[in-house]
């Protein structure tokens, strides 16, 4: 194929066309298709595209959709999800199961359980919610919850998600690990795959799609825009959302009071995050990976979070040492300057592997000197 033809191959297409091609390929390849719906804009787009493809392919079955209720969700989102669940338009499964999660407070990460049987809940799930059998209790993680949800689906199962690569470097990296079918990723269960058909869409792309097709999205996004917040439907306690926790008071005052009633320690995060010296403490420790581990032992008291943070640091250090040993990345510390890794830990960004840094800053260099 000539260079000119290659250019035409990419110019004569668009994200909308490609997303539907991917969905069609998945439908023809897998035995069962489920759409993971959160009530958010991205999963709504994925659901709408799957519906389009079903119509184009003459599939008369209802689209299988599931929602994992994370308990600490504003009423706007829950109402929007319930409108979909109760519409009769989908084969909708609404799950309210104990799920391991985390809360971020001034540089420290603590675990808590959504729908924990040992504490009062923010609200009751709807009567039709799928819950654990009476007398049975198990706390799921993000890694095994999908296996529970797909347990009655036969054959190879594709979970279609609304994950987009421009939301984070981690999500971008997950779509760059394969040359072919890069939008289909493995899970812990060999028969279940995560599919990301809209991974190359931008936020602007999806709102243009909603506007052109007169599709109503959840009201929370308009409220967040006017409140100067990131457009997200995630729980407000995890690392990224908690950095704007104080804004919950002006966004949803009643919801904020409910959160504080259940988790009074979050008041500290809301009051002091903007004043918290997030980098000054770094210079109180040895400028090395051992210094990061010492910080973790001093500050991260939750045993599982402590172990996870140390694992991420060890992995970053190992990659750096291997690259430097092979004389790669000599000009950027193998992608993992100590200061860069330290800041990631401080910000609670160790739920997944810490992303490398392509170009070190003068501060990175000075820190190690």
What would the DSSP string read from start to end of 271-289?
HHGGG--TTGGGGGS-SSH
Q: What is the pLDDT of residues 329-363, one digit of tens each?
A: 788 899 999 999 999 998 888 888 888 888 888 89
Q: CA 77, 217, 72 angle in degrees (round to 5)?
A: 15
Residue 11 lies in a domain: yes
Residue 248 lies in a domain: no
Q: Which of 185, 204, 223 is the last residue of a domain?
A: 204
Q: What is the pLDDT of residues 213-230, one digit of tens each?
A: 999 999 999 998 898 888
The domain total for the chain is 2
Residues 114 and 200 reside in one and the same domain: yes
> CB of 242 within 8 A of CB of 278?
no
Residue 161 lies in a domain: yes
Q: CA 266, 144, 192 angle in degrees (round to 5)?
A: 135
Q: Per the structure block, which two tokens stand in for 327?
A: 């004389």
**Residue 128: band (very low, low, confident or very high) from pLDDT cuts 50, 70, 90:** very high
Residues 290 and 190 reside in one and the same domain: no
Q: Which of 204, 221, 240 is the last residue of a domain?
A: 204
- Predicted pLDDT of residue 232: 85
Contacts of 168 (CB under 8 A, 6+ apart): none
The pTM is what?
0.79
Q: In this structure, what CATH number is given to the domain that contains residue 172?
A: 3.40.50
Residues 196 and 307 reside in one and the same domain: no
* Range(s) of the domain holding residue 308: 280-368
Residue 23 lies in a domain: yes
Question: Is pLDDT of 85 > 70?
Answer: yes
- Predicted pLDDT of residue 277: 64
Q: CA 8, 10, 16 angle in degrees (round to 5)?
A: 130
- Predicted pLDDT of residue 233: 86
**Residue 273: band (very low, low, confident or very high) from pLDDT cuts 50, 70, 90:** confident
Residue 93 lies in a domain: yes
Task: Indicate if the alpha-carbon torsion angle 350, 355, 360, 361 is positive or negative.
Answer: negative
Closest by CA position to 149, among listed 192, 198, 184, 112? 192
């Amino acid at each position: 194929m000539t260079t000119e033809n290659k250019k035409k191959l990419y110019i004569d297409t668009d994200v909308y066309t490609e997303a539907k091609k991917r969905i069609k390929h998945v439908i023809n390849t897998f035995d069962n298709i489920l759409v993971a719906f959160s009530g958010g804009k991205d999963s709504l787009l994925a659901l709408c595209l799957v519906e389009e493809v079903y119509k184009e392919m003459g599939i008369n079955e209802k689209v299988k959709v599931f929602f994992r209720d994370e308990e600490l969700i504003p009423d706007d989102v829950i109402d929007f999800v319930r409108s979909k669940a109760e519409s009769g338009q989908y084969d909708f499964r609404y799950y309210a199961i104990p799920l391991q999660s985390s809360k971020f407070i001034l540089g420290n990460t603590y675990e808590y359980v959504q729908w924990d049987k040992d504490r009062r809940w923010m609200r009751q799930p709807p009567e039709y919610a799928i819950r654990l059998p009476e007398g049975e209790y198990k706390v799921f993680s993000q890694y095994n919850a999908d296996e529970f949800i797909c347990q009655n689906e036969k054959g190879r199962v594709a979970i279609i998600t609304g994950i987009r690569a421009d939301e984070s470097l981690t999500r971008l990296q997950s779509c760059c690990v394969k040359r072919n079918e890069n939008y289909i990723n493995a899970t812990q269960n060999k028969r279940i795959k995560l599919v990301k058909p809209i991974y190359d869409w931008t936020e602007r792309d999806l709102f243009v799609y909603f506007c052109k097709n007169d599709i109503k999205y959840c009201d929370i996004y308009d409220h967040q825009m006017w409140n100067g917040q990131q457009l997200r439907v995630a729980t407000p306690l995890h690392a990224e959302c908690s950095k704007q926790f104080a804004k919950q008071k002006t966004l949803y005052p009643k919801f904020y009071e409910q959160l504080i009633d259940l988790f009074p320690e979050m008041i500290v995060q809301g009051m002091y995050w903007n004043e918290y010296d997030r980098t000054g403490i770094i210079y109180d420790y040895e400028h090395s990976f051992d210094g990061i581990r010492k910080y973790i032992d001093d500050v991260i008291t939750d045993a599982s979070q402590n172990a996870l943070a140390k694992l991420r640091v060890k992995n970053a250090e190992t990659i750096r040492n291997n690259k430097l040993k092979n004389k790669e990345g000599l000009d950027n510390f193998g992608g993992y300057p100590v200061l860069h890794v330290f800041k990631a830990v401080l910000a609670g960004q160790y739920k997944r592997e810490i992303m490398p840094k392509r170009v070190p800053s003068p501060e990175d260099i000075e820190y190690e000197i």
